[in-house]
Chain A
Amino acid sequence: MARKTARPGRTVVVFFLGLAIAYGLVALGGTWKPELGLDLQGGTRITLTAQGSPSAENLDEARGIIDERVNGTGVTEAEVTTQGGNLIVVEIPGKTRSDLVDTVKRQAQLRFRTVACTEGPSGVTGSCASAATTPTAPSQPSAPSTSKPSGTSSKGSKNRAPFLMADKKSDKKSKPSSSASASESPSASTSASPTPSDSGDPAQSALAFIDSPDQAAVDAFNAYSCPSNKIVDDNPDQPLVTCGTGDDAGTKYLLSPAAIEGTDLDSASAGIPSGQVQWQVDLTLGGDGKQVFADLSRAMAGSEKQFAVVLDGRVISAPTFDGVIPNGSAQISGNFDEASANSLATSLKYGALPLAFEKGGTSVETVGPSLAGDQLSAGITAGIIGLLLVMIYCLLYYRGLGVVVVASLIVAGAVTYAMVLLLSKGAGFTLSLPGIAGLIVAVGITADSFIVYFERIRDEMREGRSMRVAVEAGWKRARNTCLAADTVSLLAAVVLYIFAAGVVKGFAFALGLSTLIDLAIFFWFTHPMVSWLARFKFFNRGHKLSGLDAENLGIDRISVGGRA
């Protein structure tokens, strides 16, 4: 019991410590005003012009994908609309969001291909080196694969050899499965065929392409020069000749037909791997891509062979495999900083756009607020008046306990404000006018848990219990009621946040936040406060102004042991 009586003060102190830490973080962030939404503050408008004349469905699909890119967390409340037959207009809260242009307009057509040849400042590598000097070599029919059992990853090795070799390698490691023999027999038969890409497995055909690119592709490669500004036609079924990006723009690549499509991508995120300083984008492949990637890595690990991550027809990274990657996790490293890594991850995560945009057709301008300036102040004034009325009502009805309601509401307001500030810094949360109205309403609903609690206390006292007993007994019952009711709200918030998009997502976020704040205040502030106040004679002797006197409870006397 001694421990129990020591508790309320400690809980309140810890709670306020938490609140102080929250405000400390806000102070570190340095902004004391929340970011306002499009309707109140205006923002940045990015207008994108689609190439050619896309169909209405494609334009709308692109609109949806861009909406998710700029509004992935659902709290930014950006607006994406189509306009005319070929325009997409993106409006983002905040005047200086032109950094989002890249994220928005990137087509994000991601493919994994293998690299047959590269030609950079360091010279030509790959099978094209020999192809360039002896152009007949690649067109020769492949020799039987069994002729290369040595296992060195030499250039110009024939069709099936590396794959078989890789299989044997993996056998050595762990799997004495039938895969070696199973793949040996088909390779013996297919190796005679001159076209390596006949095989249905994209991994095998991509691997085959490394060693023997077809002549048309090699010619195209030799004819191409980098850096180039030409738009690349990225056809997944054809070999691709293209340039790198960034510092690598002068490097020319000959790439196999796509081994893995971007649609196999399960997730993408930006981060710094432990022990390194460079930002990178982590990818997780699912579906068929996972298996293909595992096959590729098995075949190419330890060799000089490169695969290429091709984004919108440009090689953004052409790494080699260090080991076998069975779980489909891949990284794109390169010259990323935090912003560009995040931007790329965001673009990749929500899929590729079904259309491309004109290079010169993008315009960025600032837009003003869509609501008149007096709306914000009027809305806030109305809200404050409303809350004052609520406080007066509570004070009149609950008297002494009303002070707890008022204090709880003020604390709830402070917590909410801190959360809004932190989230607008951290997650791009913006407050639109409906959002402000929602928060005001939420504070009103928060008061309900106190009302349930106080009515319970009064009921317990009407049963004849003393104040101190009633506070604890009432708490137990009110807690269950509030938990059940708030669970419904939380359920709504979580489900809608997961499933819905756009404004509804933002709403769900706000609802979940306010419900959690409600619970936190109720458990860690209101209850300890009431328990603490119950120690004072003012309350437990039923002073006239405490709100718990016999007259206010409506009973004539508190009879001991019996019901009033």
Chain B
Amino acid sequence: MGKFSRLGNDLYSGRRSIDFVGRKWLWYAMSGVIIVLAVAGLYLKGLNMGIEFTGGAQYRVSLDSSQVTQDNADELRNAVAGTGINGAASPVVTTSGSNAILVQTEPLGSAESQKVVDTIVQTTGVDPDKAISQDEIGASWGQEVAKRSVTGLAVFLVLVVLFIWAYFRQWKMSVAAIVALAHDVLITVGVYALSGFEVTPATVTGVLTILGFSLYDTVVVFDKVRENTKGLRERRTTYAAQANLAVNQTLVRSINTSVVALIPVGAILYVSVVQLGASSLKDLALALFVGMAAGAYSSIFIATPLLVQLKSGESDVQAAEKRAAARAREADRYASVPAFTEDMPIQTEPGAEVRDPGDETGGAPVSDTPSSRRAPEAAGRGRVAPSPRGPVRPSGASGRQQPSRQSRSKRGKK
């Protein structure tokens, strides 16, 4: 852990820095490819909606009360799930009263339905004509619920945009946060479509959790960005550099948070995939795992570069960039002045070329003089070179009322 801590310090002080902002097109391209895959998966495979959304078929298996046990229900569930029929991959099997077991599946064709009935007969040994009755069940998650949830979501997103705007005083942060959110949700839904897991109300819950987590993470990173870029006008730095520093400084936090949040989800995902077969836990854990990883990724790699890009048009930010460029030129002033050595050739004039072809071992880097490399400073024509420093603001003491002590005669007697 020592090394990691050392890295943390280097990242904090800016001694070591990963260029998150500068290499934005790389990150955009990576996310773009993943999103294209996700959307393609969504488009080609579609989401596998569960019984709760589509309704389905119900088989009521009448049995002796001695046979209606939880173990038998579990056995039946595995048997029906094992038929390989797509719609019956995760059936809902419950005991019902004391003399029946209910098997619910998604809507099935008649051949598939027959197969399910056969499986039930094989497992329980009942008479298919007398003991099994079929029925059609409606969706418990109807249009109405979906519509209300979407309304709620829309209201929430509008409020979040307003909140971020109000808190950071920058609508561009709202935009970047929402783009990152859309990125996370798209990836999650796409992965979900590709995995072919069934969409249940638990999945919806998972996606909503991601919504919250993604915004939460983005707000934490943006808080640092705002802190670092405060008073940009007076400081000798650029928005992009400060934003990048902010991401680097919160990187350790982001890694730790992701690890801490993902470990429990990963454990649940592992157990539910490896140990349990058909399980609603699996879908939830998958949605959470993918979404949280994407959420942590997007607030660093997507939201912040996008924010910097959005801000790059602002005059303050542009002025800071120009000052930085001017500083970079100015900083070079003495960089190529040769260091003094004992056997240094004596030059009388800075501009004159005096080169002794035999003196190759001199070691002194002889090159152009700085003046020839530098652009002529404000020559009075063309573009006016920006000042390398920002405007000087009056210091805190300047406006303060100065203490005054009047002469004794005017002070009055106590």
Residues of A within 8 A of B (CB): 39, 42, 45, 59-60, 63-64, 67, 79-84, 89, 365-375, 378-379, 381-383, 385-387, 389-390, 393-394, 396-397, 433-434, 437-438, 440-441, 443-445, 447-448, 451-452, 455, 458-459, 462, 477, 480-481, 484-489, 491-492, 495-496, 498-504, 507-508, 511, 551-555, 563-564
Q: How far is the CA of A384 from the CA of B5 in the complex (A)?
A: 27
Q: Are A365 and B97 closer than 8 Å at their CB atoms?
A: yes
Give the interface segment out of B70-78, B190-198, B373-381.
B70-78
Which residues of A lie under 8 Å from residue B263 when comparing CB positions?
Answer: 386, 389-390, 393, 444
B156 at the interface (CB under 8 A from A): yes
Highest count of chain A CB atoms <10 Å: which of B264, B268, B275: B264
A497 to chain B: closest residue by CB: B152
Chain A proximity mask over B1-36: 1 for CB below 8 Å, otherwise 0: 110111111101100000000000000000000000
Chain A proximity mask over B256-281: 1 for CB below 8 Å, otherwise 0: 11011111111110111001100111
16 more A-B residue pairs beyond the given contacts A83-B135, A375-B281, with a C-beta to C-beta distance below 8 A: A84-B136, A379-B281, A381-B271, A390-B259, A397-B1, A397-B4, A452-B253, A485-B217, A485-B220, A488-B216, A499-B151, A503-B201, A504-B205, A507-B205, A552-B2, A563-B13
B128 at the interface (CB under 8 A from A): no
Pick the contact of A499 from B10, B58, B155, B223 — CB < 8 Å?
B155
The secondary-structure label for the interface of chain B is helix
Which residues of B lie under 8 Å from residue A387 when comparing CB positions?
Answer: 264
B202 at the interface (CB under 8 A from A): yes
Which residues of A lie under 8 Å from residue B256 when comparing CB positions?
Answer: 393, 397, 451, 455
Given A375-B281, A452-B253: A498 touches B70 (CB 8 Å cut-off) = no
Q: Are A448 and B159 closer than 8 Å at their CB atoms?
A: no
Q: Are B159 and A437 closer than 8 Å at their CB atoms?
A: no
Q: How far is the CA of A480 from the CA of B226 in the complex (A)?
A: 12
Q: Are A438 and B204 closer than 8 Å at their CB atoms?
A: no
Between-chain CB contacts (< 8 Å), 20 pairs: A60-B144, A64-B144, A81-B138, A367-B95, A367-B96, A368-B73, A379-B272, A433-B280, A437-B268, A452-B253, A455-B253, A480-B223, A488-B163, A488-B219, A492-B156, A496-B149, A496-B152, A500-B152, A508-B208, A553-B9
Question: What's the least CB distance linking B123 to chain A, in Å?
Answer: 15
Q: Are B261 and A444 closer than 8 Å at their CB atoms?
A: yes
Which residues of A lie under 8 Å from residue B96 when comparing CB positions?
Answer: 45, 365, 367-368
Interface residues in B266-313 by Cβ distance below 8 A to A read 266-268, 270-272, 275-276, 279-281, 284-285, 288
Question: What's the least CB distance linking A397 to chain B, in Å?
Answer: 5
Given A42-B95, A434-B284: A554 touches B204 (CB 8 Å cut-off) = no
Pick the contact of B9 from A441, A462, A477 — CB < 8 Å?
A462
List the 10 closest pairs (A to B, CB-CB), nearest first.
Answer: A554-B9, A499-B152, A386-B264, A368-B95, A82-B138, A386-B267, A365-B97, A382-B271, A554-B6, A503-B201
Q: Are A447 and B140 closer than 8 Å at their CB atoms?
A: no
Given A386-B268, A502-B141, A507-B205: A496 touches B156 (CB 8 Å cut-off) = yes
Pick the contact of A504 from B152, B249, B262, B268 — CB < 8 Å?
B152
Q: Are B142 and A60 closer than 8 Å at their CB atoms?
A: yes
Question: What's the least CB distance linking A73 to chain B, in Å?
Answer: 15
Q: Are B260 and A89 closer than 8 Å at their CB atoms?
A: no
Q: How far is the CA of A437 from the CA of B263 in the complex (A)?
A: 13
B7 to chain A: closest residue by CB: A554
Pick the contact of A393 from B5, B148, B149, B259 — CB < 8 Å?
B259
Question: What's the least CB distance linking A88 to chain B, in Å?
Answer: 9
B227 to chain A: closest residue by CB: A477
Question: What's the least CB distance linking B58 to chain A, in Å?
Answer: 7
Q: How far is the CA of A59 from the CA of B136 in the complex (A)?
A: 14
Residues of B within 8 A of A (CB): 1-2, 4-10, 12-13, 55, 58, 70, 73-74, 77, 92-98, 102, 135-145, 148-149, 151-153, 155-156, 159-160, 163-164, 167, 201-202, 204-206, 208-209, 211-213, 215-217, 219-220, 223-224, 227, 249-250, 252-253, 256-257, 259-268, 270-272, 275-276, 279-281, 284-285, 288
Q: How far is the CA of A344 from the CA of B259 in the complex (A)?
A: 50
Q: How far is the CA of A447 from the CA of B262 in the complex (A)?
A: 12
Question: What's the least CB distance linking A127 to chain B, in Å?
Answer: 46
Q: How far is the CA of A434 from the CA of B1 in the complex (A)?
A: 34
Given A481-B220, A488-B163: A81 touches B139 (CB 8 Å cut-off) = yes
B51 to chain A: closest residue by CB: A81
Which residues of B lie under 8 Å from residue A480 when comparing CB positions?
Answer: 223
Q: How far is the CA of A445 from the CA of B118 in the complex (A)?
A: 47
Pick the contact of A378 from B260, B266, B272 — CB < 8 Å?
B272
Q: Are B267 and A389 closer than 8 Å at their CB atoms?
A: yes
Pick the contact of A484 from B97, B205, B219 — CB < 8 Å?
B219
Q: How far is the CA of A389 from the CA of B260 in the complex (A)?
A: 8
Q: Are A552 and B1 closer than 8 Å at their CB atoms?
A: yes
Q: Are A438 and B205 closer than 8 Å at their CB atoms?
A: yes
Which residues of B lie under 8 Å from residue A508 when comparing CB positions?
Answer: 208
A481 to chain B: closest residue by CB: B223
Q: How far is the CA of A387 from the CA of B279 in the complex (A)?
A: 21
Q: How far is the CA of A540 from the CA of B176 in the complex (A)?
A: 40
Q: How far is the CA of A488 from the CA of B264 in the complex (A)?
A: 23
Given A375-B276, A484-B223, A501-B148: A438 touches B264 (CB 8 Å cut-off) = no
Which residues of B lie under 8 Å from residue A390 when comparing CB positions?
Answer: 259-260, 263-264
Given A368-B73, A445-B261, A503-B205: A487 touches B94 (CB 8 Å cut-off) = no
B141 to chain A: closest residue by CB: A502
Given A437-B281, A499-B148, A501-B144: A382 touches B267 (CB 8 Å cut-off) = yes
B222 to chain A: closest residue by CB: A484
Q: How far is the CA of A502 from the CA of B204 in the complex (A)?
A: 11
Q: Are A496 and B208 closer than 8 Å at their CB atoms?
A: yes
Pick the contact of A84 from B73, B135, B265, B267 — CB < 8 Å?
B135
B144 to chain A: closest residue by CB: A64
Which residues of B lie under 8 Å from residue A504 when comparing CB positions?
Answer: 145, 149, 152, 201, 204-205, 208
Given A393-B259, A499-B149: A372 touches B163 (CB 8 Å cut-off) = no
Which residues of B lie under 8 Å from residue A444 when comparing CB positions?
Answer: 260-265
Which residues of A lie under 8 Å from residue B95 when comparing CB positions?
Answer: 42, 367-368
Q: How far is the CA of A58 from the CA of B135 in the complex (A)?
A: 20
Given A389-B263, A393-B260, A451-B253: A370 touches B153 (CB 8 Å cut-off) = no
Q: Are A378 and B284 closer than 8 Å at their CB atoms?
A: no
Q: How far is the CA of A433 from the CA of B202 in the complex (A)?
A: 9
A495 to chain B: closest residue by CB: B156
Which residues of A lie under 8 Å from residue B281 when comparing CB positions?
Answer: 375, 378-379, 433-434, 437
Q: How far is the CA of A108 from the CA of B81 in the complex (A)?
A: 42
Which residues of A lie under 8 Å from residue B284 when comparing CB positions?
Answer: 434, 437
Pick the contact of B153 from A45, A452, A496 — CB < 8 Å?
A496
